[in-house]
Amino acid sequence: MFEFEITSNCSNTDARTGIFHTPNGQVNTPRFMPVGTLATVKGISSKQLTSAGSEMILSNTFHLHLQPGEKLVKESGGIHKFMNWPKPILTDSGGYQVFSLAKLNNISDKGVEFKNPRDGSHVFLSPEKVMQIQMDLSSDVAMAFDHCPPHTANENDIEDSLQRTHLWLQKCVETHQKSNQALFGIVQGGRYPRLREYSAKFTSSFDLPGIAVGGVSVGESVEQIHSVINFVPTFLPINKPRYLMGIGSLREISLAVAKGFDMFDCVLPTRLGRHGTSFFNDERLNLRNARFRNDFSPIDKTCKCETCKSYSRAYLHHLIRNDEILGLTLISLHNIAHLIRFTNAISKAIKDNCFTIDFAPWKTSSIAHHTW
């Protein structure tokens, strides 16, 4: 049910294309996945997501547990019906909130006690509870509960958190009882190669349908991110989809694909879109700036998304300057399409065996001679 089929390999890197089969459709890899934390990719409809080339999206266990609650989602027929998205869905476990809401939680080996950011009430999440929530949500992929420490943590603290992540993974595996839902483990270990290797080998030993690498892009330097991307894949199973969590820049996606990663997510496309900033090649255009007032060209004339086919920079500038919601939607839609188009172009380059990565300007490196 969750077969991962590798369809082509690159001769000069570890890049590969593949198909991840799920009960709600297949995911062609490498693939960028938009983030829909609260069962919605902010400002974007399911129809628009499909038009942008989305094949799999993310939602968040922690936030859906707080509102509207997993029981209501289950009563509606599961998260796919609840949000009218028939394609694959991955639910994050809430482990990132252990990191991002550190001031509001108390961590032990049994789980995490949160102070609800909505109303101040106390919420306790254990690995067992996180599994039950995700089984009720009925996503295609459930992520194991993990402890993601800050990048500034020392080696002893990282090792302590890693032991907790591994203990929680064992409990998640024991609790998870849903045959039409895949469970992915998460590799942690911070910036320490010894701990990353240990975690990768431990997590791989469970032979789960897929494996993720977390604790990346949480405030550390670009060099440290690259170090993890370069080092960890050596210890991951080749025949399983590899998910690099929280990555959404062209350079880091390119490097990760070259090292054999398959799936990526990031909130950046919609977060920037809500502030009037669009992707263009490897640049960012702040469409609020006055220089776009009389610019009647699309954001990107090579892009085939709904925004670029139908609207000018001048119009988007007008919408953003007047706080019109449509502007935020149209820019977010373009940003999502931009990253999916990029991973599609990489796929084509891999299949044609001309994918290279040298961090030269993006047009001539990651996608070789292909245009997108």
Please tell me the distance from the alpha carbon of residue 64 to that of residue 43, in angstroms, as a whole number: 17
**Known catalytic residue at 92:** yes
Let me know if 262 is a catalytic residue. Answer: no
Integer Cα distance of 290 and 192 in angstroms:
46
Tokens linked to 95 = 């482990």
Burial of residue 62 (number of CB atoms within 10 Å: 0-12, 13-18, 19+): buried
Backbone angles phi, psi at 92, to 5 degrees: -70, 155
Dist CA 369 CA 118 (whole Å): 50
Q: CA nearest 271: which of 93, 32, 33, 41?
A: 41
Measured CA distances, 198 to 58, 195, 360 (Å)? 27, 5, 33
Q: Which of 14, 92, 119, 160 is catalytic?
A: 92
Per-state percent for the chain, helix, strand, coil, to nearest 5: 40, 20, 40
Write down the catalytic residue from 14, 265, 300, 352: 265
The residues carrying an active-site annotation are 92, 265
